[in-house]
Amino acid sequence: MLMEGFGTLLWLITLVVLGLAVFAFVDAAIRREDAYRAADKQTKQFWLIILGIAVVVNLVPIPGLGMLLMLVGLIASIVYIVDVRPALKQVAGGGRGGRRGGGSSSDGPYGPFNGR
């Protein structure tokens, strides 16, 4: 009973790690190449290779080094999501809320609209 629950927990963790790797890979694939250079990050090809390997390692069980490679893939996915992705979004103009400058919804092109 205990081992069955532990197996289910490991399966769920593996599924979450795979989901992170797939999300990071797809996000890296849709970003423009020049955004990586502008953000002063590694190249798009570098991230696609690293994250692609992370996805494959999570999908194909590798005896021996499998868990270590999964951990390395998880770290790469987290680094991409936490560090590279926000830098790419900032360079590409994908700011918060879809508005540039973070102004109020009542702001006009020359400043706040006060109704006069």
Q: 8: pLDDT confidence band, cut at 50, 70 and 90?
A: confident
Average pLDDT along the chain? 85
| Dihedral sign of CA atoms 74, 50, 80, 100 in order | negative
How far is residue 91's CA from residue 47's CA, in Å, rounded to a whole number? 17
pTM of the entire predicted model: 0.74
How far is residue 107's CA from residue 41's CA, in Å, rounded to a whole number? 34
Give the model confidence (pLDDT) of 9-61 as tens digits: 888 998 999 999 999 999 999 999 999 999 999 999 999 999 999 999 999 97
